[in-house]
Structure 1
Amino acid sequence: MKIGELSKRTGLSASKIRFYEDIGLLKMVERKANGYRSYPKEAEVVLNLIVSGQQAGFSLDELKALLPADLSGWQHAHLIDALKQKVMDIEQLQAKLAENKQRLTAILAEIDAKPDDMDCADNAKRVLTQMGLKNDK
């Protein structure tokens, strides 16, 4: 199939498809005598895998290492290891985000606890001092 049809089937722009080809993610392309690209039906599957992989948090380099040149060449153990590692990465990110959320929530609580007779600048100094962030110079 031509790139326009592949673009319609996948919802990806032709330039995005060419990009994936240029960086070596989409290897199944044939050039016709007239210079047009021709893609097998499997190219649609590969592009959908790339998009799904990116949505799951895989980088293009990670996908390049995972995707076989031929869809029949999957390395089961390598794929399972990569998926488990991505789950661990996501769990670490979730823990970091929870920590950041807790820190920001504490800062908001301190800012909201501003005494009525205190202006914003003095309140900022108060909050920073309580958090140990004030740098006295």
Structure 2
Amino acid sequence: MKIGELAKVTGLTPSRIRFYEAEGLISPPQRQSNGYRNYSAEVANLLKIIDNAQRAGFSLGQIRCFLPQEQKKWDHEGLIQSLEKRIAEIELMQKQLEESKSELLSLIASIANRPDGISCEDNMAAADRAIA
């Protein structure tokens, strides 16, 4: 299929597809006699995996590590390990974000419940001491 067709199937722009090709994430396609790229159906599936992995937060280098050298020879164990590792990283980030959120909510409560007669500056200093 031509790059325009591949773009429609995958939801990616032709420039993004060419970028992934230039980065070595997909193999260069065969060229037709007129110079047009001719992609196989397997490339569409591979591009969807690459796009999903990027949206899940994988860097191109990380994606490159778990993609097969040959499209039909996937390392299932390696892929599962990479995905499980990313899930653990996301869970850690979620925990850290939840802790940050809790601290910010406490700070908001301290600021919102400022006693009468105390300046905002003094209240902030007291809130800083309470968080530390």
* AA of the residue aligned to 1:48: K
What do residues 8-34 of structure 1 show as CA deviations (whole Å, max 9, x unaligned)?
Answer: 111111111111111111115123343
The 5 Å alignment of 1:24-63 reads 24-63=24-63
Identical counterparts, % of pairs = 41
Give distance in 1, aligned partners of 2:110 and 2:51: 43
* AA of the residue aligned to 1:57: G
Give distance in 2, aligned partners of 1:107 and 1:25: 46
* AA of the residue aligned to 1:113: N
SS at match of 2:35: coil
Match of 1:107 in 2: 107
Give distance in 1, aligned partners of 2:80 and 2:130: 47
Give distance in 2, aligned partners of 1:131 and 1:77: 44
Give distance in 1, aligned partners of 2:126 and 2:102: 19
The 5 Å alignment of 1:1-137 reads 1-132=1-132
> TM-score, normalized by length of structure 1?
0.84
> Residue 85 of structure 1: CA displacement?
1.0
> Residue 5 of structure 1: CA displacement?
0.8
Match of 1:135 in 2: none
Q: Which runs of 4 or more aligned residues in structure 1 lie more than 6 Å from their structure 2 counterparts after TM superposition?
A: none
Structure 1: tracts of 5 or more residues without a match: 133-137
* AA of the residue aligned to 1:37: R
Give distance in 2, aligned partners of 1:34 and 1:14: 18
Root mean square deviation of aligned Cα: 1.8
Give distance in 2, aligned partners of 1:33 and 1:69: 27
Alpha carbons 2:103, 2:131 under 8 Å: kept: no
Structure 2: tracts of 5 or more residues without a match: none
> Residue 127 of structure 1: CA displacement?
2.4
* AA of the residue aligned to 1:74: W
Q: State the number of aligned residues.
A: 132
> TM-score, normalized by length of structure 2?
0.87
